[in-house]
Amino acid sequence: MAKAMTKSQIMSTLADKTGLTKKEVICVVQTLVELAYKEASNGFTVPGLGKLVKRRRKARMGRNPATGEAIKIPAKTVLKFRIAKAAKDSVMG
């Protein structure tokens, strides 16, 4: 299995493919990430890749794996990333 690309490799590849400098690419990606953080509560879509969505999880019963004791897991809000159909089809074939 091939290793995942590092942040530096991703930035270099984007710089080569776009004709921008690596510094400019880093600035664009950082701005995109900051915008995603800011807008995540409303839903943030990266066209062709997916969407960040905020979801509420209900309280439920669970088990402590060490002791087997039943415990109550409280309700909480989580952030999920829903993959776009085009991305899923491209990767899965």
Task: State whether 45 and 85 are in the same domain.
Answer: yes
Give pTM, 2 decimals.
0.75
How many residues does the structure list for the chain? 93
Task: State whether 26 and 61 are in the same domain.
Answer: no
Count the alpha carbons within 13 Å of 7 in the hemisphere toward its beta carbon. 4
Q: How far is CA 12 from CA 4, 34, 35, 48, 61, in A?
A: 14, 20, 22, 21, 47
pLDDT of 1: 64
pLDDT of 93: 80
Task: State whether 62 and 35 are in the same domain.
Answer: no
Q: What is the pLDDT along the chain (93 residues), one digit of tens a residue?
A: 689 999 999 999 999 999 999 999 999 999 999 999 999 889 999 999 999 999 999 999 999 999 999 999 999 999 999 999 999 999 898
Count the alpha carbons within 13 Å of 41 in the hemisphere toward its beta carbon. 2
The residue range of the domain holding 30 is: 1-39
Q: In total, how many domains does the chain have? A: 2
